[in-house]
Amino acid sequence: MARQIWKYPIPMAKDFTIQMPMGSVPLHVTNQHGIPTLWASVNPKASSETRRFQLYGTGQDLDPLFLEYVGTVLLAQGFEVYHLFEVNGPVADE
């Protein structure tokens, strides 16, 4: 099965979902042309699934119990730093 690398823009929201092929593996997070972006290794023939992510600014409280770190992205010439996590279970509401 041939895999490909696909990119996904990351919305500037604390909690969001992305439709990805099942079994996708996040590889890298960075700023591309001012847009936070996630790259993932995917099987383009796999069925789609909804994956849940959360984005936190440096210094914000987070619940690490069900979060898996994906990567960090710098915006505004490094003055804004955000950390992307994938949610792997329930997360407490604010």
Residue 53 near residue 16, CB atoms below 8 Å: yes
Q: Is 72 exposed, middle or buried (0-12, 13-18, 19+ CB in 10 A)?
A: middle
Residue-number span of the structural domain to which 46 is assigned: 4-87
Please check whether residue 94 lies inside any domain of the structure.
no
Please check whether residue 34 lies inside any domain of the structure.
yes
What is the value of pTM for the model shown? 0.88
Tell me the per-residue pLDDT of 41-83, one tens digit each, with 9 for 90 and over.
999 999 999 999 999 999 999 877 789 999 999 998 889 999 9
Please check whether residue 93 lies inside any domain of the structure.
no
Please check whether residue 92 lies inside any domain of the structure.
no
Please check whether residue 83 lies inside any domain of the structure.
yes
pLDDT at 65: 73
Domains in the chain: how many in total? 1
